[in-house]
Amino acid sequence: MYLKNLTVLGFKSFADKTSLNFQPGVTAIVGPNGCGKSNVSDAIRWVLGEQSAKALRGGEMADCIFNGTDGRKPLGMAEVSLTIGDVEEDQLTAAGVEVGFNEVTVTRRVFRDGGSEYFINKTACRLKDIQQLFMGTGVGRTSYSVMAQGNITQLLSSKPEDRRMVFEEAAGITKFKAQKKESLRKLEHTDQNLVRVEDLIREVKRQIGSLQRQAGKARRYKQIAQELQHLDTQLARHQFDVLQAEITERQNKAEELRNGN
């Protein structure tokens, strides 16, 4: 695996498309202060998926995009492509790249509105695929194959807490710390929800007692109402029979009286 080419467009001080071809052996980039030497290594870290703007000497990711000079307007997009030669087949399969290539070009693009895109051999992919491609090769974002200017001094002279931060970043703990913070926040939120649910349960339990009493009363009412209806029917039937008998009796009497006359 070796670095073949780096093409930068709109990244930091590289407003124009700039392509650097690396030959086997040692390559040194020289130039006056502020000419953009460190920006080259920043571009390499960035295309490998660097997520920390601070690690790239900026406040936010948009600081990576060429932000203009006196005579040039700022750009809206930064794009960096890195071509690696002689890539192991295993690495290619892990990243889902068609085997048959042994040369891989990874590309990262970012827009001022925050949108970010990753590509492997011009095919859109996830950051995870790029990380997978370089995992265990010593080239990844968190490995120390890219030593930024000032990193060593920072390590040697900083306070223990700052040094710890560097180690944590190197060990990839920072990411987990952030995840832990997020999880704790969610846990706290869940705790609050639980308290609310417990309150609700207590309230509902109280209501259950009163509803059970009401349901008992309703059942008794229904039963008595049925009995009443039954008795009413029986009474009506009885009255009907009595009246019917009286009618018959009076009809007979009337008949007798008519016949007597």
The partner in contact with residue 23, picked from Mg ion, ligand ATP, none with C-beta cut-offs of 5 to 8 angstroms by kind, is none
Whole-number Å distance between alpha carbons of 63 and 78: 10
Shorter beta-carbon distance to Mg ion: residue 26 or 99: 26
Contacts with 13 (C-beta within 8 Å, 6 or more apart), sequence order: 35, 36, 39, 66
- For ligand ATP, the binding residues in 3-42 under the rule CB under 6 A are 12-13, 31, 33-39
Contacts with 227 (C-beta within 8 Å, 6 or more apart), sequence order: none
Shorter beta-carbon distance to ligand ATP: residue 35 or 228: 35
**Would you say 112 and 60 are in contact if contact means Cβ atoms under 8 Å apart?**
no
Residues counted in the chain:
261
Residue that the structure tokens 């969610």 belong to: 186
Shorter beta-carbon distance to Mg ion: residue 52 or 149: 149
Contacts with 62 (C-beta within 8 Å, 6 or more apart), sequence order: 110, 112, 114
Which residue stretch of 30-38, 187-195, 215-223, 238-246 sits at the interface with Mg ion (rule: CB under 5 A)? 30-38
- For Mg ion, the binding residues in 144-173 under the rule CB under 5 A are 149
Which residue stretch of 42-50, 61-69, 141-149, 232-240 sits at the interface with Mg ion (rule: CB under 5 A)? 141-149
Whole-number Å distance between alpha carbons of 38 and 59: 16
Phi and psi at residue 78, to the nearest 5°: -120, 140
Q: Is 38 in the site for Mg ion (CB under 5 A)?
A: yes
Shorter beta-carbon distance to ligand ATP: residue 73 or 253: 73
The partner in contact with residue 226, picked from Mg ion, ligand ATP, none with C-beta cut-offs of 5 to 8 angstroms by kind, is none
Reduce the DSSP state of residue 3 to 3 states and report it.
strand
Q: Is 158 in the site for ligand ATP (CB under 6 A)?
A: no
Q: Going residue by residue from 131 to 150, which x/- string records binding to ligand ATP, judged by CB under 6 A?
A: ------------------x-
Q: Going residue by residue from 61 to 80, which x/- string records binding to ligand ATP, judged by CB under 6 A?
A: --x-xxx-------------
Nearest to 97 by CA among 112, 74, 118: 118
Position 237: which residue type?
A: R
Sites of contact with ligand ATP (CB under 6 A): 12-13, 31, 33-39, 63, 65-67, 149
Sites of contact with Mg ion (CB under 5 A): 37-38, 149
